[in-house]
Structure 1
Amino acid sequence: MSGSLPLAGWTIQVRSLGPVSFAQVGPPYDRTLTNRTAIKRPSMLFRHSPDIWRDFPELAAAVVFVTGITECASVDTSLSRLYGIAASRLNGGSESELPEIQAWRRAFSRMGLKPTQYRSASEALLRRFRQDGALPRIHPLVDLCNALSLAFAIPVAVFDVSKVADHLEVRRAVGDETYLTFSGAVEAPEKGEVVFADGAGRCHARRWTNRQSGHSAVGPESRDVLIVAEAMHDKAQDDVGTLVAATSEEIRDIWRCEPRAAVLSASSPQFRF
């Protein structure tokens, strides 16, 4: 069955959304077999801390978890379609005019950050896309999520969960966390900075949606991944739901995996996977 997904005046065509489960889910089984017996991966948790929901009540967030990702996949057709949507939305203008980007700029200002110095990931991607007409290729899943981020103008983070300890929480730093850059340097996020932190005190993203860590970046050996989309604009709740549905559809078609997804809120802030 064919269908379409509305996006801020644009429409993303999809063949079929299929069964996307918007609910908290239990732990999946690892695809690795030992003596023909499936190995159960310990359950993990993603959440935003209560003070994040309190301080940013306009926040809308959604997650997708998938196991079985490989780098042997072609995303060229999807990228071409999503790049076209992004180019149409920009339409010769600036990404700073988009309501999704303006909302994140306001959020960064409230965090005490200069928005033109520290940009949300989606703004940085759109800026580069506007200048170059394309984005560098990294890994099929990362390339796909970057293209979805362009089309929706919403930050989309992708984490290799094998590199995350116990849980992943969007919270304010307490001052003793560590952060590994893509160049291999180790940084110490400032106390009070909004970060993605795990149970070992390792930060997987700094300044909220500004910059991910190289530690949990998706690479050739990645199999289990968590995708996080967050937005602040007026139609954010609807758009993140549409975004995770589109993401799930793309993953299902390209990797033949069955994603698990959830839309989060202050009243239902956790996703167990």
Structure 2
Amino acid sequence: MHFQHSPQIRSDFPELAAGVVFARGITPDAVPDLDRFTAVAKERLAAGTEADLPEIQAWRRAFSKMGLKPTQYRCASESLLRRFRKEGALPRIHPLIDLCNAISLAYAIPVGVFDLAYVSRSLEVRHADGDETYVTFGGEVERPDPGEVIFADAERRAHARRWTNRQSGHSAVRDTTDAVLIVAEAMHATAAADVKELTTVLAHELERTWPAVREVSVESRWRTPPSA
């Protein structure tokens, strides 16, 4: 599985820092420890709302740059934090999703999880041509807007729309999931260091939560750390 951001995305968003975690051997019966991550989120939100966090502010700037209204289309971590602040908890979906959501809350960084059994050969964050296929969680088929930032595979299937706004139901984690690609992306001043820490922590939690996991690898994907 090859993952990359297109040269145009790298050029348009030089502040972008990304980390990738690959894992094989995921099962639906694990019980991750989420409390320490949700405790961090609660502490950060005690001082204000998610909109005050530099990680979220950076993504709002990026969405505005893409021509999207940030309060209409939120990055995944902002949506999670907003729900967590209002409801005090997140619904349990699958142990891997629950873990990634909790870590996303703690770091305020979007974390996408893709079941590799449903991704064709490669995954690239790029601008859409407009003829790609996107399947919602409800099973409806959509076409991304031309120029929209998507996660696209070799069969021109979009696995996320509006970059970090909404993932596809096609490659969503399910009980049969075994191998996954997990992507964390950030653009704030300390993004490079924070994404590196996030992916390191995530890899450790994967190995601790799934003792039988056969493979975990971590990779960082940025050119230079962004300036403050």
State the TM-score, normalizing by the size of structure 2.
0.96
Structure 2 residue matching 1:259: 3-state secondary structure: strand
CA distance in 1, matches of 2:110, 2:127: 19
Answering whether residue 186 of structure 2 is matched by residue 259 of structure 1, we say no
Answering whether residue 31 of structure 2 is matched by residue 65 of structure 1, we say no
Residue pairs, 1:154-173, within 5 angstroms: 154-173=109-128
Answering whether residue 18 of structure 2 is matched by residue 55 of structure 1, we say no
Q: Deviation of residue 195 (structure 1)?
A: 0.1
Residue pairs, 1:209-224, within 5 angstroms: 209-224=164-179
Tell me the equivalent position of 2:134: 179
Answering whether residue 145 of structure 2 is matched by residue 190 of structure 1, we say yes
Answering whether residue 84 of structure 2 is matched by residue 129 of structure 1, we say yes
Q: Give the AA of the match of 2:81.
A: L
Q: Give the AA of the match of 2:75.
A: S
Residue pairs, 1:19-98, within 5 angstroms: 44-75=1-32, 78-98=33-53
Answering whether residue 67 of structure 2 is matched by residue 112 of structure 1, we say yes
1:96-152 Cα deviation digits (max 9, x unpaired) = 000000000000000000000000000000000000111011000000000000000
User: Rg larger in 1 or in 2?
Assistant: 1
Indicate which of 83, 100, 106 corresponds to 1:145: 100
Q: Give the AA of the match of 1:182.
A: F
Residue pairs, 1:218-257, within 5 angstroms: 218-256=173-211, 257=213
Q: Give the AA of the match of 2:216.
A: P
Q: Deviation of residue 92 (structure 1)?
A: 4.9
Q: Deviation of residue 93 (structure 1)?
A: 1.5
Q: Percent identity?
A: 61
Structure 1 residue matching 2:81: 3-state secondary structure: helix
Does structure 2 conserve the Cα–Cα contact (< 8 Å) formed by 1:63 and 1:263?
Answer: yes
CA distance in 2, matches of 1:216, 1:136: 20
Q: Give the AA of the match of 1:175.
A: G
